[in-house]
Amino acid sequence: MSYIILILGVLLWSLAHLFKRIAPGVRARMGKGAKGLVALALVAAVVLMVIGYRATDFIPVWYPPPFLTHVNNLLMLFAVYVFGVGAAKGKLSGVIRHPQLTAVKIWAVAHLLVNGDLAAIILFGGLLAWAVVEVIVINRAEPSWVRPADTSWKGDAKAVVIGLVIFVVATAIHYWLGVNPFGA
Distance CA 14, CA 17 (A): 5
Q: Are residues 145 and 171 in the same domain?
A: yes
**Does position 57 have pLDDT exceeding 80, yes or no?**
yes
Distance CA 123, CA 11 (A): 10
Q: Are residues 113 and 125 in the same domain?
A: yes
**Does position 64 have pLDDT exceeding 90, yes or no?**
yes
**Does position 184 have pLDDT exceeding 70, yes or no?**
no
Top mean pLDDT of 22-26, 63-67, 89-93 is at: 63-67
Name which of 20, 103, 7 is nearest 52 in CA terms: 7
Which amino acid makes up residue 38? V
Distance CA 95, CA 62 (A): 35
pLDDT for the residue 26 = 83
Name which of 51, 180, 59 is nearest 117 in CA terms: 59
Q: Are residues 73 and 29 in the same domain?
A: no
**Does position 31 have pLDDT exceeding 70, yes or no?**
yes
- Quote the percentage of the chain above a pLDDT of 70: 99
Q: What is the pLDDT of residues 102-134, one digit of tens each?
A: 999 999 999 999 999 999 999 999 999 999 999
Q: Are residues 32 and 75 in the same domain?
A: no
Q: Are residues 121 and 150 in the same domain?
A: yes
Q: To which H or E segment does residue 99 belong?
A: helix 99-114
Q: What is the pLDDT of residues 149-160, one digit of tens each?
A: 777 888 888 888
Give the residue numbers spanning the domain of 144: 58-184
**Does position 88 have pLDDT exceeding 90, yes or no?**
no
Q: Are residues 75 and 98 in the same domain?
A: yes
Q: Are residues 19 and 51 in the same domain?
A: yes
Q: Are residues 27 and 65 in the same domain?
A: no
Q: Of 31, 56, 81, which marks where a domain is finished?
A: 56
Structure confidence at residue 90 as a pLDDT band (50, 70, 90):
confident
Q: Are residues 19 and 103 in the same domain?
A: no
pLDDT for the residue 181 = 84
Q: Are residues 98 and 126 in the same domain?
A: yes
Q: Could you tell me what percentage of the chain is helix, strand and coil, using 3-state DSSP and rounding each to the nearest 5?
A: 75, 0, 20
* Number of independent structural domains in the chain: 2
What's the whole-model pTM score?
Answer: 0.89
Q: Are residues 4 and 69 in the same domain?
A: no
